[in-house]
Amino acid sequence: MARPLVYTVGRVIADLYADKVSTPMEQAASFRKYVGGSSANTAVGLARLGRPTGVVARVGRDPMGTFIAETLQREGIDTTMLRLDPQYQTGIAFAALYPPNDSQVWFCGNPNANSRLAVEDLDFDALKEARALVIAGTALAREPARSTVLALAHVAATAQIPVVLDIDWRPVFWERSDEALSVYDKLLPLSQVVLANEPELTVVGDSHEMQDAAARLLGLGVGEVVAKRGKEGAWSFGPHRDPVFVPAFSVPVLNTLGAGDAFAAGYVHGLLAGWEVHERLKWANACGAIVVTRHSCSEAMPTAAEVEALCRRGEREDGSHE
């Protein structure tokens, strides 16, 4: 296995998706099991795009934790820093899909092993060789994971390793959601790129106006703010340039869960490749568009060939932007 170029840090859980779509969860008779959680999904996405990737997280010393570790290993992901917690269980999310709208999600086991990530779990020598760290914001929700992630971000900043912060706002994981802004503010100045959908940008940007929210983050020292808008496309804001916008791809929607994690994988892939902002946004939009057509998060992540094919299709349909 190649030494990881990217590590994803934070939320790794098991997903159980109702087989039958448009059915309330309480009426669902069967569920399919997948690896889930923002960090795991993005790790799979990066690995399928050809990027050597590792995960930094905790899962329970239980059957779900074993399932996650074995599945990630089959994807070619380094699990050296995926620790098994002896006390806390693996987090689980049940989901009922309602295409083309948002899905019903029920998180079980809170707090779970994710919140127990500790400094002693980290191999700093390995992490200092990374070319990027992708941190899921839910890792900030509870201690000791919060302090561990902040310590890791400081080490990355000192080593000039880019930190990509996926806000990953999930109020259910926070003991006090009213403290989230002040906690995020500790990590934001250490982040080169922030990825956020509309409600996430509202929380950390402290404004319902996209440009005002982005301006607040840039003022804190963030190098780039990427606003994910789903079917409305995506924006990138930088401190010394005009905003860049790329429209979304038009695809049939089955499941919106995981699209943002695929977007993150595509965007980081473009960063590592040294692409211009427009190309990064296009590739990220394509990754997210493919995932919304499929019944899962991690297993829905596309390969580079699939993304390239969708981009070529977009060029044929509308050469003005793709």
Sign of CA dihedral 304, 50, 37, 196: negative
Q: How confident is the model at residue 315 (pLDDT cuts 50, 70, 90)?
A: low
pLDDT given at position 213 = 97
Residues 291, 302: Cα–Cα separation, whole Å: 7
d(CA 297, CA 260): 10
- Three-state secondary structure readout of 226-291: EEECHHHCEEEECCCCCCEEECCCCCCCCCCCCHHHHHHHHHHHHHHHCCCHHHHHHHHHHHHHHH
pLDDT bracket for residue 321 (50, 70, 90): very low
pLDDT of residue 1: 65
Which of 78, 121, 168, 261 is flagged as catalytic? 261
d(CA 303, CA 288): 12
- Give the pLDDT score at 103: 84
Query: Residue 320's pLDDT band (boundaries 50, 70, 90)?
Result: very low
Please report the pLDDT score of residue 316 as a whole number. 62
Instruction: Please tell me the distance from the alpha carbon of residue 258 to that of residue 232, in angstroms, as a whole number.
Output: 17
Q: What is the mean pLDDT of residues 284-298?
A: 93
Mean per-residue pLDDT over the chain, rounded: 94
Active site residue 261: yes
Average of pLDDT values for 233-254?
94
Greater confidence (4 vs 71) lies with: 71
Give the mean pLDDT of 282-292.
96
**What is the average pLDDT across 196-222?**
96
The stretch 243-252 carries a mean pLDDT of 94
pLDDT classification of 317: cutoffs 50, 70, 90 = low
Domains of the chain, start order? 6-317 (3.40.1190.20)
User: Model confidence over 105-157: pLDDT tens digits?
Assistant: 999 888 999 999 999 999 999 999 999 999 999 999 999 999 999 999 999 99
pLDDT band at 322 (very low <50, low <70, confident <90, very high): very low
Sign of CA dihedral 10, 11, 13, 18: negative
* pTM for this predicted structure: 0.94
